[in-house]
Chain A
Amino acid sequence: MSARRRFVPGTIAGQIMGLLIIAVLLGVGLASAVLLYLIDREQTGTDREISATVRAAHIAAITREVQGANSKGQLSNLLRDAHVDAGLVSAEGLGSWTPSTPTPRFVDAVAANLREDWGLEPLRRVSPPGDADSIFLEVGDQRALRFEAFRHGGLHNFLLVQTIGALAIITLSILFLSIYAVRWIVSPLSSIASAARSFGRAGADEDELGVDGPREIAETAQALNDMRRRVRTLVNERTQMLVAIGHDLRTPLTRLRLRAERVRDEPLRAAMLQDIVRVGEMLAETLAYVRQGNHQEQPSLTDLPSLLETIAAQFSDVGEKVAYGGPERLAFAGRAQAIGRAVTNVVENGTKFGSCVDISLRTLDHGAVEIQVDDDGPGISPALLGRVFEPFFKGDSARSLEGRGGFGLGLAIARDIVERHGGAIALVNREPHGLSVRMTFKPLPLMQVWEAASAA
């Protein structure tokens, strides 16, 4: 199978091109073979005699006219009108006609005809020998006219040259046609594949697929469009439901909070309030997750150090040890709120597992930046490294957080935001212990200048 695979092109474009080329080569080859066979047959029997007679008459007519020509100019005109059929050569080395042996050939029939019907004496080249298909006729002044027995240098030759030329042209045009086929047939297929692959991914192009192209492919694209629309509707309905739940829960939760604040028993009140805060945070987290990409924030030029310092300050204001170290000023074109949320989520995760979190900022090539968040917690087992970004991932029970864990959406949201900035998020364990989260962000094109909008 692998041996066969090697010779069969892997892509549809390659296969179509291969098939077309093989088909055309076969077709042209077969047609040529049939033609040659028919021509050969034509040269036998009565057909052959008629051809010889016609050819002899033609040769005789030209010869007569050449013999009657008065001037050089007239002669060259004549020869030109004869369409290279005849050529003027020296009469040296020509001898009388002797029929070819053992089998008489077409040329012999023409020679015999010339002698018998037209009273001309055909000659053939005797020294040097060769040129067996040519007939020479003396026209005086030691010159002779040379004729090919077959018109136009022989049909065999004619067919061969024409066939090779035609094949080359056809093959070339097929190559160009195949490039067209790639565009026409295959490129919609590739866009279908990439649409299917990117569906639901962060930052994916949500446009409908074009439904032009061949009918089958148009139908496939249409089907995929329908499926995407249905999936989107389904997801949107679920999102709406979650948002509605979030909205409706806030009133009872507010009531609960106001009631809890009135509880006289101090430890009970503290515990209740803590739980209520937790529920509120989990609701907020879920809403933030399901709303990703719904209201898309416009990218703006934002100063990243002040953003990271603000995040560090917000955490240190509630008693966590979070610090920023890095450049003092760095303007970056991005979605400031989203980046802030991503970093906040990662820092929050760090404060859950470690006692001390460091945020740092570095510039990369092409205007990209890397934000790194290091904690001094236990790190993460390599087996879980790939899974922590899954929504609702909670880690192993050994890392259970005594009610401090959310829904496990923080890192999933962070990854989403990073990917919407064309970047990547990576987790690396630190020595001797701790986790380092590295997020890269690429600058986004600025849609509009915010100040202009607000100044208006």
Chain B
Amino acid sequence: MFSAMSPPPNGNFGHILIVEDDATIHLMLSETLRENGFSVSTATSGVEMDRALRREDVDLVVLDVMLPGEDGFSICSRLRATSNLPILMLTALGEDFDRIVGLEIGADDYVTKPFNSRELVARIRALLRRTRAFGAKAGRRLGPLRFAGWRIFPAERRLLSPEGVRVTTTSAEFDVLLALCQHSGEVLSREQLLELTHGGAAGPIERSIDVHISRIRQKIEPDPRDPTLIMTVRLGGYIFTPEVEAL
């Protein structure tokens, strides 16, 4: 199941199409991505993107929100209507609005400008991994799930308790919980969990999976000292016990 995470035989991690009108950002982003083992093509507008998509086999689109002519949101929803291609949006500074709209109209992830290229690469990798691991349909555009009365909304990144109260998590905690939900009843090793999530790429201090798990337990377990939802498997990792169903 996790075989897709080892590098492909030809050494190429995937083909990325960058849709961004600023030439410098283009250039440097392409370089960075190539250095990290991706092949890259670029487009500066929706029209160019359509042309590139017809010509090339693209694995993932990096899409800027602010484009001349048709804007990123419109391109995103148009693209989403016809394909399951993973989309990572570059959103504006401090605009929760952009992020929420972006995720609602079908983007899979977002990075806020000005971004750190290490973070962008990590996000692209994680997104590709998720797509390959879970298949185009199952892995992305994940609908709301329910476990033990709790509801988890992947697109809105929202978690509701059985009482309908919103419970806040860090994004790493959310990713870990979501990965657990998608593999309920399976034993996941710490390495697998790290692979399935961003792996703490955002912060300078990488927290171990154990820290995230303990924080999640604090938030969702009826008794965090005696966990029943996320159980520790000796020498194995963790297993998520509740039944998970789509809402």
Contact = CB atoms under 8 A, between A and B. Distances in A.
A409 to B, nearest CB: 12
Given A287-B93, A336-B166, A251 B22 contact: yes
B170 A450 contact: no
A39 interface: no
B164 A280 contact: no
Nearest to A305: B219
Given A246-B94, A255-B24, A451 B151 contact: yes
Given A250-B93, A454-B153, A331 B165 contact: yes
Contacts of B218: 309, 328
A276 interface: yes
Contact of A300 (B28, B117, B166): B166
Contacts of A234: none
Contact of A283 (B94, B97, B215): B94
Given A250-B113, A284-B94, A318 B203 contact: yes
B207 to A, nearest CB: 6
Given A255-B28, A313-B215, A318-B205, A303 B167 contact: yes
Interface in B148-174: 151, 153, 156, 158, 160-161, 163-170, 173
Contacts of A295: 96-97
Interface string B1-45: 000000000000000000000101100110010000000000000
Contact of A254 (B96, B114, B153): B114
A424 B204 CA distance: 35
B87 to A, nearest CB: 19
A106 B28 CA distance: 122
Contact of A314 (B153, B160, B170, B219): B170
B114 A250 contact: yes
B97 to A, nearest CB: 6
A449 B169 CA distance: 20
A257 B168 contact: no
A263 interface: no
A349 to B, nearest CB: 18
A152 interface: no
B203 A317 contact: yes
Given A254-B25, A259-B28, A319 B204 contact: yes
A253 B114 contact: yes
B170 A257 contact: no
A448 B205 CA distance: 39
B22 A331 contact: no
B116 interface: yes
Contacts of B81: none
B25 A283 contact: no
Contacts of B114: 250, 253-254, 256-257, 276, 280
B168 A336 contact: yes
B168 A302 contact: yes
Given A250-B92, A258-B117, A309-B215, A318 B168 contact: no
A114 to B, nearest CB: 100
B166 A261 contact: no
A307 B168 contact: yes
B168 A451 contact: no
A262 interface: yes
A301 B94 contact: no
Interface in A402-456: 449-451, 454-455
A372 B25 CA distance: 43
B235 interface: no
Interface string A272-286: 000010001001100
A275 to B, nearest CB: 12
B247 interface: yes
A449 to B, nearest CB: 7
Contacts of B94: 246, 283-284, 287-288
A198 interface: no
A301 B173 CA distance: 20
A313 B170 contact: yes
B134 interface: no
Interface string B70-104: 00000000000000000000001111110000000
A286 to B, nearest CB: 9
Contacts of A190: none
A319 B153 CA distance: 30
Contacts of A301: 163-166
A258 B168 contact: no
B246 to A, nearest CB: 12
B113 A253 contact: yes
A319 B218 CA distance: 21
A310 interface: yes
A251 B112 CA distance: 11
A256 to B, nearest CB: 7
A262 B118 CA distance: 12
Contacts of B32: 258, 261
Nearest to A288: B94
Contacts of A276: 114
B144 interface: yes
Contacts of A331: 163, 165
Nearest to A285: B94
A256, A295, A451: residue with the most chain B Cβ atoms closer than 10 Å: A451
A251 B164 CA distance: 40
A134 interface: no
A337 interface: yes
11 contacts: A250-B114, A253-B113, A254-B25, A254-B114, A255-B25, A258-B25, A295-B97, A302-B167, A303-B219, A318-B205, A331-B165
- Per CB-CB distance, the 3 closest pairs between chain A and chain B, nearest first, are A284-B94, A258-B28, A254-B114
Interface of A: 246-247, 249-251, 253-259, 261-262, 276, 280, 283-284, 287-288, 295, 300-303, 306-307, 309-310, 313-314, 317-319, 328, 331, 336-337, 340, 449-451, 454-455
Interface of B: 22, 24-25, 28-29, 32, 66, 92-97, 113-117, 144, 151, 153, 156, 158, 160-161, 163-170, 173, 200, 203-205, 207, 215, 218-219, 224, 247
Given A259-B24, A303-B165, 19 more contacts: A246-B93, A250-B92, A253-B114, A254-B114, A255-B24, A258-B24, A258-B117, A276-B114, A295-B96, A301-B164, A301-B165, A306-B167, A313-B170, A317-B207, A328-B218, A336-B166, A337-B96, A454-B156, A455-B247
